[in-house]
Amino acid sequence: MGRAGHFLNWQGAPVDYDAGAMRQDSPPAAKALGLFRASLLLSLLAGVTGCTNFYGRGIQYQLDHQYAARDPEFIRNMGSLVEPGLLPSNQVVTLLNGDQSFPAMLEAVRGAQRSICLETYMYWSGEVGQQFAEALAERAQAGVKVHVVIDWIGSRRIDSSLLDLMRDAGAEVERYNPLVWYAVTRLNHRDHRKLLIVDGKIGFTGGAGIADQWKGNARNPQEWRDSMYRLEGPAVAQMQAAFMDNWVKTNARVLDGDDYFPALKPAGDLRVQVFKSSPREGTEDIKMMYLLCIAAARKNIRLSASYYVPDRLTTQEFLDARKRGVEVEIIVPGAQTDSAIVKHASRGKWGPLLKAGVKIYEYEPTMFHCKSMIIDDVFVSVGSANFGNRSFRLNDEANMNVYAREFAEEQIRIFEEDKQRARQMTYKEWKDRSLWQRFMEVITAPFRSQL
């Protein structure tokens, strides 16, 4: 990778995700260099965007606790304020880590008969990238309509041979928001969605990209912990529509007809909603969704957040929930993280939460890349969105909401299993953190709006 490629790697992640490279006990000089590089890029981003839609704290929503997540009002308001609404008769299958998610996704791709639509932030060369490229190319050669949207920055480590393989077979591959000299602000607007739709009938979403660090079963630092979800039923049309958003923005050609939007039969008994959020549309639906969930909670909130950067508003919402007696638990990455700057910027804001009784756990075995929220054992949101301003206001995101007690119970079991592999941070430990940690929190604080 050239110098430009390393500079654009704002998270400071090395090319190979070995245990030593990801640990936060690396030499201080190396950590300082990585954080300096990230800070320099974030300073550039903050400067070039000026007073555009990308800058600032965003809308400071004011929400009161008026109804519970189990009340009908919650579903009505969620479907109206965060469109489109929830649809009945869906089935969702949880796929844990690469051992389950990649085989299921590749099986669906290889079985495609009419169309394949793939949108992802990260697509890198490697074993996984090769498998997907070959499967997509084979289907394109067989006459299936294949459309791929990959983010320009997120896919910077994909070899041109994989792009040529897909394109030569007839697949349409577009790179979202490439950097051009006359629109520097594009650098700060990324397509972070993870969507795969096959024949308009089967959909996948979650947190995993197309790269080798998601292989395996989170057994060691080389195998990231993450989940994907397989969707069937009427809500697949909503996921397909979410894909069409950036496809049209990138390609301008509308994809419609039965190849993409077939009549969908009932597939289960889950109420599901797939929605998107984009700064180009001036929407903050991801943030609105999270705030509605927190405000509706009466019993418990379980948040899995690979990049957790709370701001004043979300912190206050969690504190208000604690005052109502809501138990709040959050799992975040621990020593094994691909973004030291996010870790330090996040930790500096934990004090009031820990003091109020919010329980924060740091996942230990490997990088924790899950993104989910469970409310009152009945409502679950999963997808690409992280819990911070970058997902709230800067990136294009897509999430899937499921309103069903049985699905929530499954996700709670998974959350509890993750919690068993995590270490709880106490308020005393946070207060006694080292001077070095406090210094890094101060250094990274100005960049929270870009994280």
Which domains does the chain possess? 3-71+276-450 (3.30.870.10), 88-269 (3.30.870.10)
- Strand pairing of 327-333 and 371-375? unpaired
The count of other CB atoms within 10 Å of the CB of residue 59 is 13
Q: What is the pLDDT of residue 118?
A: 98
CA-to-CA separations, 160 to 130, 164, 352, 407, in angstroms, rounded:
12, 6, 48, 40
Q: How far apart are CA 373 and CA 382, in angstroms?
A: 7
Look at residue 210 in the predicted model and tell me its pLDDT.
97
Specify the pLDDT at position 38: 53
**Residue pair 152/122 in contact by the 8 Å Cβ criterion:** no
Predicted local confidence at residue 58, as pLDDT: 65
Q: What is the mean pLDDT of each run of 10 residues along the chain (451 residues)?
A: 38 38 43 51 42 50 85 94 95 98 98 98 96 98 98 93 97 91 77 97 97 96 97 98 96 95 97 92 84 96 95 94 97 90 87 97 96 98 93 92 98 98 95 89 75 59
Structure tokens at 89: 């008769």
Q: Which residue has the tokens 């349409």?
A: 172
Pairing of strands 227-232, 359-363: unpaired
Q: What is the pLDDT of residue 63?
A: 78
pLDDT of residue 439: 86
Strands 300-305 and 359-363: unpaired
Q: What is the pLDDT of residue 451?
A: 59
Cβ(288)–Cβ(227) under 8 Å? no
Cβ atoms of residues 120 and 193 within 8 Å: yes
As a whole number of angstroms, the distance between CA 341 and CA 346 comes to 8
Mark 244-254 as b/e (b = at least 16 C-beta within 10 Å): bbbbebbeeee
Distance set, CA 25 to CA 20, 30, 184, 218, 428 (Å)? 9, 10, 35, 20, 21
